[in-house]
């Protein structure tokens, strides 16, 4: 058997989180869960502990494996003290958990060849995160199914490709010649255009060329102002630049919003913060999230997915994992704020700061146009959106949310400070493949804000403000207008 040496050398080290380095004392905590999940080319493992803990680790070979000893803790999850799980993961082959000696829980990760393991100890909640990456030279990334279909589409996929061109030809396609589409009723002609394109879908490339030649001379008969005679492409206006004047890859490719994940924070045993009169964050944000979801479904005709619809606890990492699995185009997490100073009030919106700084990650962990393709599908076209592009779009999304929220809240709390858009590596946002933000909709610790947040009519207006932020961001990606609430 040929052994491939690992690129990282593990030295047995004792790590602590503010505890005395004594292993002989009676166990104070429990290892409550060991979870693992895959995010792209990375596999993450979370060892959850009931309190502050120390650990030591080492790497062994033949077979490749790494172990983590959680000191002064006993395994206790799912009513079992010994746990083994085989996985379907080329980086992580197996997880084994047992109490190797009184008060020491050992978690062994059996690894594939050439796998690097990077641990990070986090708190609130207390856990040890291990990130597994392959150190093998990455081969060429093949995205042939999507890219080739866009370049040389086979007949079987011709209708979807033609459909993706709908908005670019919407105005000219209903021009003078075709009689069936003469009645142009609304200012937005998406539906007539689709009908027209579906009639032309079976056409060969040659007939498409003749169609293009046939529609070039006519300009438009829609009731909106006509585009310049020389520019047929103007019938599908390009996406607007961001507020800083940039044109991101998302906008350059004309992507739009089809699916939104709304994340009501906390839930279950995790109540979040609470107000002086007893209003719980988990109940407040769930109600606002459901109100917002209804507005998005009605106004944007987009699919809405909730990370939770009842009083259920969902792990932070599992929330964006759900968004990725569902191929969402936007992720919006809703929370309520708190301060030790009761007079502090206001709205603030966060977006993910894509940083490699472990310190920054620890801080956040403690807080814690014509294309029919969607934002998520960009990942299939070019494998992934770059971190810069996601950060830029998330910043723009956060700005739209913050502007709409503050405009609303300032009318109800005159003189309230605009706390603005902020960056932070919140755990709930890490790993999302789409623009993602976290909105703090008010301070429950402020008696005036709590009183307002208790009122159903105020929550509805708050949801409408959130909707305006979402819709204005979506409108900026496309030439289509959306309903405003």
- pTM for this one? 0.48
Pairing of the two strands 83-86 and 259-264: unpaired
Structure tokens at 202: 């079976």
At residue 120, the pLDDT reads: 86
Q: Sign of the C-alpha dihedral, residues 319, 438, 432, 52?
A: negative
**Would you call 4 helix, strand, or coil by DSSP?**
coil
Instruction: Choose among 81, 90, 92: nearest CA to 35.
Output: 92
**Would you call 200 helix, strand, or coil by DSSP?**
helix
Per residue in 103-117, is it b (16+ CB within 10 Å) or e — as a string?
bbbbbbbbbbbbbbb
Give me the chain's average pLDDT, please: 71
Structure tokens at 354: 């894509």
At residue 41, the pLDDT reads: 78
**Would you call 78 helix, strand, or coil by DSSP?**
coil
At residue 405, the pLDDT reads: 95
Greatest CA separation for the chain: 88
Q: Which residues pair with 111 in a beta bridge?
A: 92
Using CB atoms within 10 A of its CB, is residue 281 exposed (0-12), middle (13-18) or buried (19+)?
Answer: buried
Are residues 275 and 283 in contact, defined by beta-carbon separation less than 8 angstroms? no
Residues of the chain with pLDDT under 50: 1-13, 16-24, 139-254, 354-386, 388, 479-485
Which structural domains are found in the chain, ordered by start? 13-134 (2.60.40.3500), 144-200+211-235 (no CATH), 249-477 (3.40.630.40)
At residue 213, the pLDDT reads: 36
Residue 56 CB: number of other CB atoms within 10 A? 18
Q: Rounded to an integer, what distance in angstroms lies between the CA atom of residue 120 and that of residue 356?
A: 12
Structure tokens at 247: 């044109």
Q: Rounded to an integer, what distance in angstroms lies between the CA atom of residue 292 and that of residue 478?
A: 21
Q: Rounded to an integer, what distance in angstroms lies between the CA atom of residue 332 and that of residue 262?
A: 5
Q: Rounded to an integer, what distance in angstroms lies between the CA atom of residue 387 and that of residue 485?
A: 32
At residue 137, the pLDDT reads: 63
At residue 80, the pLDDT reads: 60
């Amino acid at each position: 058997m040929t052994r491939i040496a690992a690129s990282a050398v593990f030295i047995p080290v004792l790590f602590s989180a503010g505890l005395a380095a004594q292993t002989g004392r009676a166990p104070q905590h429990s290892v409550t869960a060991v979870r693992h999940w895959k995010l792209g080319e990375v596999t993450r493992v979370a060892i959850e502990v009931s309190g502050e803990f120390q650990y030591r680790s080492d790497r062994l070979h033949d077979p490749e494996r790494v172990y983590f000893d959680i000191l002064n803790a006993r395994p206790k999850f799912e009513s079992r003290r010994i746990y083994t799980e085989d996985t379907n993961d080329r980086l992580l082959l197996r997880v084994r958990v047992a109490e190797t000696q009184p008060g020491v829980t050992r978690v062994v990760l059996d690894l594939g060849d050439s796998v690097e393991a990077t641990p990070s100890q986090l708190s609130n909640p207390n856990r040890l995160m291990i990130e597994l990456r392959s150190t093998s030279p990455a081969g060429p990334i093949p995205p042939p199914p999507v890219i080739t279909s866009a370049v040389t589409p086979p007949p079987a996929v011709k209708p979807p490709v033609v459909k993706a061109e709908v908005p670019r030809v919407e105005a000219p396609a209903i021009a003078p010649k075709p009689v069936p589409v003469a009645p142009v009723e609304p200012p937005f002609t998406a539906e007539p255009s689709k009908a027209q394109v579906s009639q032309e879908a079976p056409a060969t490339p040659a007939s498409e060329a003749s169609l293009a030649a046939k529609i070039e001379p006519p300009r438009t008969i829609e009731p909106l102002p006509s585009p310049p005679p020389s520019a047929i492409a103007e019938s599908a206006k390009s996406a607007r630049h961001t507020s800083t004047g940039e044109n991101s890859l998302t906008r350059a490719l004309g992507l739009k919003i089809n699916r939104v994940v709304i994340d009501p924070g906390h839930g279950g045993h995790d109540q979040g913060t609470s107000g002086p009169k007893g209003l719980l964050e988990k109940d407040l944000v769930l109600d606002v999230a459901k109100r917002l979801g209804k507005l998005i479904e009605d106004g944007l005709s987009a699919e809405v997915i909730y990370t939770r619809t009842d009083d259920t606890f969902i792990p932070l990492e599992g929330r964006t994992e759900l968004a990725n699995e569902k191929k969402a185009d936007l992720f919006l997490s809703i929370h309520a704020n708190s301060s030790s100073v009761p007079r502090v009030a206001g709205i603030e919106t966060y977006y993910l700061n894509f940083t490699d700084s472990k310190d920054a990650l620890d801080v956040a962990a403690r807080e814690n146009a014509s294309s029919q393709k969607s934002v998520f599908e960009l990942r299939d076209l070019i494998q992934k959106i770059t971190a810069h592009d996601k950060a830029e779009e998330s910043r723009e999304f956060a700005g739209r949310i913050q502007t709409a929220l503050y405009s609303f809240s300032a009318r109800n709390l005159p003189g309230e400070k605009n706390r603005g858009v902020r960056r932070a590596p919140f755990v709930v946002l890490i790993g999302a493949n789409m623009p993602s933000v976290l909105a703090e909709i008010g301070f429950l610790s402020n008696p005036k804000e709590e009183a307002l947040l208790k009122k159903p009519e105020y929550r509805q207006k708050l949801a409408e403000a959130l909707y305006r932020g979402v819709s204005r961001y979506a409108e900026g990606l496309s030439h289509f207008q959306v309903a405003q609430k």
